[in-house]
Structure 1
Amino acid sequence: MKLGVFSVLFSQKSLEETLDYIQAKGLEAIEIGTGGYPGKAHCDPDLLLSNEQKLNEFRQLIDAKGIEISALSVHGNTLHPQKEIAQEFHDDLIKTIDLAHKLEVPVVNTFSGCPGDHEGAKYPNWPVAPWPNEYQEILKWQWEEKVIPYWKEVGQYAADRNVKIGLELHGGFSVHTPATLLRLRDAVGEVIGANLDPSHMWWQGIDPLEAIKILGKHNAIHHFHAKDTTIDQNNVNRFGLTDMQSYSNMLDRAWQFRTVGFGHDIKTWADIISTLRLVGYDYVISIEHEDGLMSIDEGFTKAVSNLHQVLLKEPLGDMWWV
């Protein structure tokens, strides 16, 4: 395994400064934002796809630093019911797939998207209850008319370019659990997999270890985010896990994101890393920092330190004792 970082947290630095900084921390990989919600601070697909010299300079800079690009990330809602919004996210996704193909980056990370509840809708509708029955009708329409048809087309486009799609299992989007990921994978094919982030499993009440096993049995983990979550049971009792308060209201929220080791102990993270290897995932562990109690540098540095203790870096040898 290699330790990496989702570079969006260093958007205030240049790409070269970011590469030097993470290299000094002992990282070997970087996940780079290419549009959508993560933005394009370190990589503009429009520029690189239209200018071969700029593309070569970008590639040479990365190679010179000895850093691997684990994924290009373009999170957005390509199924947004407002067509102009969906189109912008879609264009960013397609350009990112094209760029990943040129750079030989194996994974593009994004969200599944979430449609509205009918053709004339203005806003996404995320059904989370089976009753009243209208919610089941909405969910059926979304998957049959929007989610599956869209990803069949885009999935084939990516597969034709030898690029895998890593969908982050995130609340508010149609694919947000292992079951919904596998439902889409069954319909579209193995090009679809998870960009698995345990922080989103914990707040949904899903054990990340079991999520890894469920997805790993299908070889359906394409990428992995290292981010933690802490649950405040007193606030859960009041607001529930679907707490709609701002992330900035940390004292009163039911749950909040933390840096690695500050929501769950190192043993838990050692189990996560071991379970990833158990199911055959030996790719990059990409740190995502969204901890409201720590600065970027401190939160990132503590995540690096904690993960270095548990990361399994050497390739497996024979079981000499068997």
Structure 2
Amino acid sequence: MIRRYLVERRSWLLFFLSVQTLVLLIAFLDKAIPFGPILYIVFLTTTLFLIFFVFRYNKETHFYKQLEQRNNNLDLTSIEGADTPLESIVETSMRNLSEHLRQSASWHQVALEQEKDDLLAWIHEVKTPLTAMRLMMDRLEDETMKTALTYEWLRIHLLLDRQLHQKRLPFMENDLYIEQVNLESLTYAEIKTLKTWCIQKGIGFDVDFEVTEVLSDAKWLAFILRQLVTNAVKYSDPHAAEIIIRSRRDNERTILEVIDHGRGIEPKDLSRIFDKGFTSTAWHQDSAATGMGLYLAKKAAESMLIQITVSSEPGSGTTFTLTFPQPNEVMRITGM
């Protein structure tokens, strides 16, 4: 701060030094003026000026030190009142700006909440005609047409479901309900939803559950599993080997694995596949990928203390692993 204060007051310092130098120069050149007493006066005034300078430094920098040390937020209560008219201008301007930003942030928060509520309401409204469409498709006799329409219906259904959970994710803690969840029935329900797609691609499932129940939130766990299974089906070659879903116990923790035999993931992409919006560097032309499914699954898993990892070899398939927390760790989510 002392260096910046000297830079700020450099014009005053240069002016004072110039005046003192001018007085000494005049006394030195004019023989009628005694040089000794003038030198003594210059010494005394310089000493007084240094004392005054130190006093003003402490007084003038106090206000700015408070600004420098405060947290970068809109709270200005920690700043004491300004001592000078110029400091008062700065303080008033900052308080007005802080109030304006606070009101603006509040307005934007309300607007975002309204937008979220409107979107959620729209999603629920769209689900009604989708349900009606599904019932009409089930009555179709043309199996080829029925399969094609069901596949497109499924794509819309999954996109709406992902959008719904994306909007709910920031408030996920308020929506959690921890209970004993049957992994087997949950998995079969997700496979049943994707049945038409799997039949179209000629892909089957090999399901093996050593552990059938975990302590978790059924709705959000189903969403995570849906993203992993959908990903496995999407990137598996037609008529490829079966997708394996299995659970096991490892050091008192439940492990759930989703293994496909698709195109795999490039090693340079493995560390980025959970990043928001990331699709692929090797398959960048894939316009159907949004880069949101795995990102949302990762975020939801973290909120439930579930560790999600991935291993893959290009051309050999991909394994997603969910490691569930122990029961005492799950209880901390709900504060029990």
TM bracket, shorter-chain basis: under 0.3
TM-score (norm 2): 0.21
Indicate the structure (1 or 2) with the bigger Cα radius of gyration.
Answer: 2
> Bigger relative contact order, structure 1 or 2, given CA contacts below 8 A and separation 6+?
1
Q: Name the TM-score, length of structure 1 as normaliser.
A: 0.22
